A and B are shown apart, each in its own frame.
Chain A
Amino acid sequence: MTISPFILFWAAIFTSNILLTNFLGMCSYLSVSREVESSFGLGIAVTFVLILTSALNWLVYYYILVPLNLVYLEYIVFIIVIAATVQLLELLIERFTPALYYTLGIFLPLITVNCAIFGVALFMIIRRYTFLQTLAYSAGSGLGWLLAILMLAGIRTRIREKMVPTGLAGTGITLITTGIMALAFVGFSGIVNVQ
C-alpha cells in the first residue's frame, strides 16, 4: 500500500465511510442520534478514541505480537487494549476536566463496545497500513462516523415533526433513512478506492 495518508484521510470520510459503507458502529449510531448536541459529543469522542486506540494497537501488533509470533491473538489483544484505554481515558477526563466529562466523557463507556473502533483496528492490519496511514485512516474514519451521526441526528429532528406511519416509527424509519444516506454516499465512490 503506497497510498498517501492525506488521500486515505479523505477517502475514510467520504468514499469508504466506516458507517455508511461498512455499517460498523451502528448500535450507538442508532441510539444516540436523537439530539444533534449529544450526537456531536459522541462523534468527537469516537474520533478521539479511534485515533488513540488504533495507534496503540498498531504499536502492540507490530512490536509485540509480530515479533513473538502471536498475531493469531490479535482479536483478544485488540479488545483488551481498547477496553482498558477507554476506561483509563474516562477516569482521567472525569478527574481532571469535569466540564469535558459532562459533554464527552460520559459517552466513553458506550464506545468500548463500538464495533467501528474494532473494525478500524482490523482493517489497518488486513490492509497493511503504515503507522502514518493508520493515524490518517482512523482520524478519517472517526470524522466520517461523526459526519454520519450528525446528519442522521439532523434528519431525525426533522422527522419528528412529520407524520411517520406507526409501524415505521422509531428504529424503522431511522434504518430506512440510513439506507438512503448510504445510497447518497455511493455517489462519492470511484473518486478513489482504498478498500
Chain B
Amino acid sequence: MLIVRDILVASAISGSLAVILVIAQRYLNDYGDCTIHINQKRDVTVKGGISLLGALTDRQIFLPSACGGKGSCGTCKCKVDNGGGPVLPTEKPLLNAQELAGNIRLSCQVKVKSDLSITIPDAIFNIRRYNAVVSEIVDYTYDIKGVTFALTEPATIDFKAGQYVQLEAPPYVNVKQKTIRAYSISSKPEDNNHIQLIIRLVPEGICTTWVHQYLQVGDPVSFTGPYGDFFIRETQADMIFIAGGSGMAPIKGMLEHLQMTGCNRRMLFFFGARSPKDLYLTEEFKAFEQVFPDFTYSPVLSRANPEDNWTGRTGYIMTYLPEAIHDPKHTEAYMCGSPAMLSSCQKDLLALGVPKENIYFDSFG
C-alpha cells in the first residue's frame, strides 16, 4: 500500500506542476494569429508562439534543418525583413558579420509573436503540393507513355525546364501504401497550368505499373515539386544533351523552352536506344533542327538488327563524343538516363577535357 501512496504523491507533484505549465502556456504564450509575408508574394497565417521554422513547416514550406531546431547547425537561415525582434545570443555564433548586416536569422530561434516579413530562396518557396487531373495519356513506345496533368489546386506551377516532381501513387489492388516516385517534367514551363511526365514501365515497378495499367484520363493525382538543379545554365557555351529511354523527358522540356526563348548556341542531342522500336518523338526532334540555327538530333542504336534497315548511328553515344566536342572548355553537357550510361559518358566527357562543373545530370535507377 505504501508504494501506491508514494506513486500517488510523486504523480500529484508532477501533475500539479504540469497543470500550472499548461495554464501558463495557454495564457502567456498566446500571441493570436500572425501573418507571415513570404517573398512579398504569399501570405500565410499561423498561430503565434511557435518558432518561425515550425510555423513554415506547418504550412508545407520546408526550410532545411539538420539539427531539428536546436540552433546548432545553422542550416535553417532565412532573411527576416520585419518583425523578428533583435538577434538572439543563441544565433550570433552561427551568423557572420555580413549575414547580421543582411537581416539573416536562424528561423528555428525566431519566435513568431507578431506579423513577419521574410525572404526565402525561390527554389524552396516554390516547392509545394499540387493537385491535378490526368488530361492526356499517349503511348510513345510499347513501354513508354507520356502523361499530361492539368493542375487544379493550385492552378499554376512555376518551374525551370529540366526540374522534376514527386508523383504520389495512391494504394491500388495489392499495394497498401502510398508510393512516391520522382519524374522529370517533360513539358515547357511556359505552359504553367499543365505538366507532362514521360514514364517507362518498369517490370514490377509500383508507381510505373499504376501509371501504365490503372491510370485513366480524368483521374485525380497529387505531386510535390518542383525539385532539382538540372536546368539550362545561362552561358554561351556549346550544349551536348545526352539521354536514354524516358530520360528524354527533361531534355524535351529544355528544348521546348528554348524554342520559346530562342537560342543561338551550338546544340547536339544524342539519344541512346536499343532498336528502332525504342525510339519516339523522332520527327519532333528532327524538326528542332529547322527551329534552331545550330542543332542536330542523333539517335544512336546499340542493337539495331539488319532487318530494321537502320541507316543512322549505331553503337554507343560515347563513340560520337570526340567529334561532337569542338571546344571542351566551352562545352556543357546535360545528361539524363540510366546510371550506367551516365557514368560512362561522364568518364569520357572528363577525358575529353570538359570541366566537371559543366556536366549536369539527373540520375535515375
Contacts and interface: CB of A to CB of B under 8 A. Distances in A.
Interface residues on A, range: 20 to 34
Contacts of B17: 80-81, 84
Interface in B16-35: 17-18, 20-21, 24-25, 28-29
Interface stretch (B89-97, B329-337, B352-360): B89-97
Contacts of B287: none
Given A84-B17, A98-B85, A70 B9 contact: yes
Interface stretch (A5-13, A35-43, A128-136, A166-174): A35-43
Contacts of A70: 6, 9-10
The main secondary structure of chain B at its interface with chain A is: helix
B25 A102 contact: no
A102 B86 contact: yes
Interface residues on B, range: 20 to 34
Interface string A25-66: 000000010110110010000000000000000001000100
B260 interface: no
A3 interface: no
Contacts of B86: 102
A106 B106 CA distance: 14
Nearest to A83: B17
A126 interface: no
A91 B24 CA distance: 7
B57 interface: no
Given A34-B93, A35-B92, A80 B28 contact: no
Given A102-B88, A106-B88, A106-B89, A91 B10 contact: no
B343 interface: no
A1 interface: no
A60 B24 contact: no
Given A34-B93, A81-B17, A91-B24, A102 B85 contact: yes
Contact of A68 (B9, B18, B93, B109): B9
A18 B243 CA distance: 67
Interface in A54-108: 60, 64, 68, 70, 73, 76-77, 80-81, 84, 87-88, 91-92, 94-95, 98, 102-103, 106-107
Contact of A84 (B20, B29, B92, B109): B20
A141 B286 CA distance: 82
A41 B92 CA distance: 13
A80 B89 contact: no
A84 B21 contact: yes
B28 A106 contact: no
B18 A84 contact: yes
Contacts of B85: 98, 102
B19 to A, nearest CB: 10
A88 B25 CA distance: 8
A107 B89 contact: yes
Pairs of residues from A and B, 7 with the lowest C-beta to C-beta distance, nearest first: A84-B17, A38-B89, A91-B28, A95-B28, A106-B88, A80-B14, A102-B86
19 contacts: A32-B89, A34-B93, A60-B13, A68-B6, A76-B10, A77-B10, A81-B17, A84-B17, A87-B21, A88-B21, A91-B24, A92-B24, A95-B28, A95-B29, A102-B89, A106-B89, A106-B90, A106-B109, A107-B89
